[in-house]
Amino acid sequence: MQKGVTEAKSGLNNHSWNVVGQTYVPKLLTDEAFVWHATLPADSFVPPHIHTHQDEWIYVISGALEVEFMQDIHKAAAGDTVKMPRGEAHGIFNRSGQVATCIFGVAPSRKLYDLFVHLDGVTDPAELTRISALYEVNFLPPPDVAE
């Protein structure tokens, strides 16, 4: 890591990614940790998935999120930190009706930065799932829709 400041409106290598309708701006990257700022529009979500080699966390800056660990739902508001241990399936949902902003992080970094580079602008769920599996993130099949 080089010393210095990553300014509020910029990302590492001038990157900003659109991943499943959310904006991710990388702020810090080392072998040990990867941190990014995220803007999650109302009604957006990250489908349930598993990081088999990384612990993940979210610090909510504004708005509110719900993180589902299968049937176990955790609600997080501004100032809260969500902890998602490696190997635990989790989905992230903004059901608040307003934009949520937060800081995400993973440790160790592994392949997640490169995954976001490849997911930028991908909108097809099957393609997102295929690419993610190549970078150690495994999406779960969608649950059955209750009638």
pLDDT by residue for the chain (147 residues), tens only, comes to 888 888 888 999 899 999 988 999 999 999 999 999 999 999 999 999 999 999 999 999 999 999 999 889 999 999 999 999 999 999 999 999 999 999 999 999 999 999 999 999 998 888 999 999 999 999 997 655 444
Instruction: Decide if 127 is inside a domain.
Output: yes
Instruction: Decide if 143 is inside a domain.
Output: no
Residue 2: per-residue pLDDT: 82
CATH of the domain at 48: 2.60.120.10
Residue 125: per-residue pLDDT: 84
Tokens representing 26 are: 């990388």
Tally of domains within the chain: 1
pTM: 0.91
Instruction: Decide if 42 is inside a domain.
Output: yes
The answer to whether the beta carbons of residues 140 and 48 sit under 8 Å apart is: yes
Residue 147: per-residue pLDDT: 42
Q: What are phi and psi of 77, to 5 degrees?
A: -115, 180
User: CA-CA distance, 122 to 77, in Å (whole number)?
Assistant: 28
> In which domain, by residue range, is 120 found?
14-136
Instruction: Decide if 7 is inside a domain.
Output: no
Instruction: Decide if 1 is inside a domain.
Output: no
Residue 145: per-residue pLDDT: 44
